[in-house]
Amino acid sequence: MVKGMGIHSITGPAMKGIQSGIHGLRRVASEIASQPADPKTKPTDLTRAMVEMQQHTVQTKSSLKVLKTSDDMLGTLVDERA
C-alpha cells in the first residue's frame, strides 16, 4: 500500500460515486416516468434522460468496481500479514 493512503481515501469517493449515481438514476427514472403519453411532446427530453440514465449507470458500476477492488486489496493485505 502507498504510504499515507488509507482505505478510507479509496472507499469514501467510491461510496460517494455510488450514492451520486443512484441518486441520478432515481431522478432520471422519475423524469422518464412522468413524460406525457403523447409522443409529439418533447422527444429530445426523453432522449436526454435516457443518455443521462446510461451515464449514471456507468458511474455507479465504475464506483462499485473501485469499491470491490479496494476490498480485494484489503483482503490480500490481511491474508499476507496473517
**Would you state the cell numbers that stand for residue 10, as one nine-digit string?**
479509496
Assigned domain for 82 exists: yes
Query: Around Cβ 21, how many Cβ atoms within 10 Å?
Result: 20
Assigned domain for 31 exists: no
User: Which residue range forms the structural domain that includes residue 58?
Assistant: 47-82
Assigned domain for 53 exists: yes
Assigned domain for 13 exists: no
The percent of residues above 70 in pLDDT, for the chain, comes to 76
Domain count, the chain: 1
Mean pLDDT of 13-38: 91
pLDDT higher for 7 or 75?
75
What is the model's pLDDT at position 66? 93
Assigned domain for 30 exists: no
Assigned domain for 22 exists: no
Assigned domain for 77 exists: yes
Count Cβ neighbours within 10 Å for each residue of 32-67 and write b for 16 or more, e otherwise: eeeeeeeeeeeeeeeeebeebbeebeebbeebeebb
DSSP string, the chain: --TT--THHHHHHHHHHHHHHHHHHHHHHHHHHTS-S-TTS-HHHHHHHHHHHHHHHHHHHHHHHHHHHHHHHHHHHHHHH-
Assigned domain for 78 exists: yes
What is the model's pLDDT at position 1? 42
